[in-house]
Amino acid sequence: MVTSIATDPAPAERKPLYKLLYVQVLFAIVLGVIVGWLFPSFATNEWVKAMGDGFIKLIKMVITPIIFCTVVSGISHIQEAKKVGRVAVKALIYFEIVSTFALVLGLMIGNIVKPGAGFSGAAANADAVKQYTGKAQSSVEFVLHIIPDSVVGAFARGDVLQVLLFAILFGFALMALGERGHTVRALVDDMAHAIFGVISIVMKAAPIGAFGAMAYTIGKYGVGSMVNLLGLIATFYVTALLFVLVVLGVIARMAGFSIFKFLAYIKEELLIVLGTSSSESALPSLMEKLERLGCSKSVVGLVVPTGYSFNLDGTNIYMTLATLFIAQALGIDLSFGQQVTILLVAMLTSKGASGISGAGFITLAATLASVDPRLVPGMAIVLGIDKFMSECRALTNLSGNGVACVVVSWWEGELDRQKLEAGLNRRVDPTDIETAVTTG
C-alpha cells in the first residue's frame, strides 16, 4: 500500500475524463443501448454477445485464485485462531439482520403499492418456467455442497464457497506452522499481488464487455420489453434504492461514513455490474478497493466472498416483491401467515440456490412452491423482464456486501479511519489499481 495514503491531505491528481474507467464503461453502456435499439440484427450477433460473455469469463478466471490468496494470507498472518471465528460469526449475524430488513421492506412496498393489482397480461404458461423449478437445493444439500469432492475440482468449477472452505482450512494450517510457514505465506502474498496485476489488465476490457452485454440484451429483448411490466420494474428499482439509501445509509452512518461517498468510491464496480448484469464481474476489484479503504485483509477475505452467498439483499427484495406481484396478478390473496412464510422460506432459499446460474429466478420458484403451489405458473409473467430485474439485484447485492465489509471491520476494531477518510474524500485515486499492486 502507499504509505502516504493516511497522511497526505493533498487531493490526488485527476486523470482526464476519457481515461477514467467508469466514464468509459458508462459511454459503452449508452452506446450498447443505442446499437441494440437501432441495429438489433447486428446486436444479436454471436460475436457481440461474446464481448460480454468473454469479459465475465475473464473475471471468473481470477475470482477463485484471488479469494484463495486473500483468505489464506489474511488468516495465516493472524496470531489467534479464535479471531477468524469471531469475524465469521459477526459477519453471519450482520447478514441475517440486514437480509431480514430487505425481505420485510419488499413485503411492505408490495402491500402498499400493489404493483400486480389489475394486471391484464397474458395467461401464465407453466411450460415456460419448468426449467427453473425443482433446482433449488435443500439445506442439507447446500451444506454438503460446500465440501468439495476435490480441491482441484472446486477451483476448476469456480465454486466460491468450496474454495473459501479450503482456503480457511489452509490458512489455519499455515497459522499453526508458525515461522516454518513463512516461505509459503510469502509465496501466497506474492501470488495475490500478481493476480491483482492480472485484474488490472483484465479491467481494461470492461467497456468492451459492458457494450457487448448491453447491446445484446436490448437487441434481443427490445426496448419494448423494458416498457412491458414497467410498474413492477419501477417498484423494484425504487425499493432497492430505498434499501440502499435508507437501510444501508443508516448502518453506514452508525459506522461513521457516508453511503453517498461510499457509492461514489465504488462507482466503477457499480457501472461494470450494470453493464454485465453480474455482481461477480466486480468482486475482485471490490475486494482490492475495500482493503485500500482501510478494511483489514482478513475481514475482506472472509466477509466479501461469504457475503456473495449469504448477503443477497437485492435477491431478497426481489423474492418478496415478485411473490406479492404474482399473487396480485393472479388474484390470489395471501394471508398474514403466508406472508410470514415468505419471509422464512426466502431466508433459506436465498442461500440454498447460491452459486446456481439464474439463482434469483430459481429461488423465486422455490419460494412460490413453498408458499402456494398455485403461484408457480405465474413466474411466466415476470420471465420476460427478469433480465432487467437481475441488474438491480446485482447492484444491490454488490452495495450491500461492500457496506457489510466496512461495518464488520469497524465492529472488529480493524478499520483504518485515516485510509477510510482519504478514500471517501478522494484524496487518493480509487481507480488506480496498478499503483496499489506495485506498491502494496
- The per-residue pLDDT for range 254-263, each reduced to its tens digit, is 999 999 999 9
Express as a percent the part of the chain with pLDDT over 90. 15
Instruction: Give me the pLDDT at residue 81, please.
Output: 64
pLDDT digits (tens, 9 = 90+) for 117-146: 766 544 444 444 444 444 455 567 767 878
Tell me what the pLDDT averaged over the chain comes to: 78
d(CA 322, CA 325): 5
The CB-side HSE value for 50 (13 A sphere, CA atoms) comes to: 4
Banded model confidence at residue 355, pLDDT cuts 50, 70, 90: very low
Mean pLDDT within 398-424: 91
Instruction: Give me the pLDDT at residue 252, please.
Output: 93
Dihedral angle of Cα 148, 151, 156, 159, to the nearest 10 degrees? 40
The alpha-helical segments, DSSP class H, found in 243-358 are 249-255, 259-265, 267-276, 283-292, 297-310, 313-329, 336-352
Classify burial at 60, counting beta carbons within 10 Å of its beta carbon; exposed 0-12, middle 13-18, buried 19 or more: middle
pLDDT digits (tens, 9 = 90+) for 138-154: 567 767 878 888 989 88
Cell of 29: 453502456
Q: Report whether 124 contacts 325 (CB < 8 A).
A: no
Instruction: Give me the pLDDT at residue 351, please.
Output: 60
Instruction: Give me the pLDDT at residue 54, please.
Output: 86
Instruction: Give me the pLDDT at residue 8, please.
Output: 43
d(CA 43, CA 48): 6
Q: In whole angstroms, how far apart are CA 389 and each of 14, 96, 97, 327, 420?
A: 34, 23, 24, 18, 32
Q: CB within 8 A of 274, min separation 6: which ones?
A: 29, 210, 391, 395
The angle subtended at Cα 327 by Cα 326 and Cα 329, nearest 5°, is 60
Mean pLDDT within 187-201: 85
d(CA 271, CA 273): 5
Size of the chain in residues = 440
Instruction: Give me the pLDDT at residue 134, please.
Output: 47
Residue with cell 453471519: 92
Q: Report whether 60 contacts 157 (CB < 8 A).
A: no
Residue with cell 482490492: 288
Dihedral angle of Cα 278, 279, 281, 282, to the nearest 10 degrees? 150
- pTM attached to this predicted model: 0.69
Banded model confidence at residue 377, pLDDT cuts 50, 70, 90: confident
Instruction: Give me the pLDDT at residue 7, please.
Output: 41
Banded model confidence at residue 219, pLDDT cuts 50, 70, 90: confident
Instruction: Give me the pLDDT at residue 193, please.
Output: 82
pLDDT digits (tens, 9 = 90+) for 290-334: 999 999 888 888 888 888 777 888 888 988 888 888 888 778 888
Cell of 213: 452485454
Indicate the helix (H) or strand (E) that contains 56.
helix 46-76
Residue with cell 495514503: 5
Banded model confidence at residue 109, pLDDT cuts 50, 70, 90: very high
Lowest mean pLDDT among 23-27, 167-171, 356-360: 356-360
The alpha-helical segments, DSSP class H, found in 77-159 are 82-113, 139-146, 151-157
User: Of the segments 182-186, 193-197, 375-379, which one has the largest average pLDDT value?
Assistant: 182-186
What is the phi-psi region of residue 127: left when phi exceeds 0, alpha when psi lies from -120 to 50, beta otherwise? alpha
Q: Which residue has the higher pLDDT, 227 or 93?
A: 93
d(CA 383, CA 387): 8
Is the pLDDT reported for residue 226 higher than 70? no
Cell of 308: 456473495
d(CA 227, CA 99): 29
The domains found in the chain, sorted by start residue, are 12-439 (1.10.3860.10)
Lowest mean pLDDT among 109-113, 227-231, 415-419: 227-231
